[in-house]
Structure 1
Amino acid sequence: METDRKEYLQRPLIEDVVYEITDNLIRVSNSNTLFINLTKRNRIQLAEVEKLFREIRKIAKNNPKLKLKGVTKFLPTIRELYPEYCEGASLIEKNFSEISKLFRQIKIDGLHRGYHDDELMNLSYAKKAEIERQHYSSSPYSQFVRCYTNLKSALKMRGWEDEGIVSYTVLLLPF
């Protein structure tokens, strides 16, 4: 295995590769290729989702145009999803950190032609695939995130305040 890496490192370097590796971003590219582009999101706290839910319920009580679907199931559902969301977030954070270390080493070694043979690149792509699995629509991680972004979006857009709107429904559990 080590000789394969030595052979890989003998190959010509890919030119003009730009490495952006921070606590929240891993982006490696040149003018022709985006080798990786990962952004780490902040964790969503259960209390924040509950706060947004209370806020939209209060608005709905005082605004006859705004209808909420899924009110009784919302809190039990997000509370049930939250531990699995946290597991998914931890897995993402762990893999992001490991990919960051791998790409810091790749930056030192340089990115060479035929990088598909590089064990560090392949390992980082395998870890990226684990992150992507958390984003599948059926995963608890993804469902929890969707509930949160749906609430945030509804409260930001405030579609029920448009004059021409007679009735506006927010689907609290969008899955």
Structure 2
Amino acid sequence: MKLHTLLKATAIAASLAFSAFTFAADIDVNANSNDIAIGGYDPVSYFTQSAPVKGAAEFSATYKNAIYQFASEKNRDAFKANPEKFAPQFGGFCAFGVTMDRKFDTDPLAYKIVDQKLYLNLNAEVQQRWLSNVPEFIQTADQNWGGIKGKTDAVLAAASE
């Protein structure tokens, strides 16, 4: 009887663990522990407003297993129709960090749109460095992204030591 209970408990635990991995945000998308991307900011608002706007849970969509929140149903629907157009580059990781083969978190207010693409940075100070040579940094980050996709920042940090 105890063996049967142990087997059942093990099967349930394995099932729960598998489902947690199934719904967790993609490793190449910067999301918080609740799988919310861009700190809950509306990605469409970066393109349509004078400044980014916080989204609301009632208007949300999932992309690459991360949850994006929107200020309106209209913005959510625009994102769902073309997520690649509005989702931040490099999965929302710091664009300058990607130039150094790293995946750093970002401040949703440290951003720049270049050629209709959204780039985020770690913070305002890092963004100032990024702004000093945006074209070169984008080229380097584009080249590096393929090599760091699929890896956690912990793995990348260990590799650079």
What interval of TM-score do these two structures reach, taking the shorter chain for normalisation? Answer: under 0.3
Between 1 and 2, higher relative CO (CA 8 Å, sep ≥ 6) is seen in: 1
Structure with more of its chain in helix, by fraction = 1
Question: Normalization by structure 2: what TM-score?
Answer: 0.22
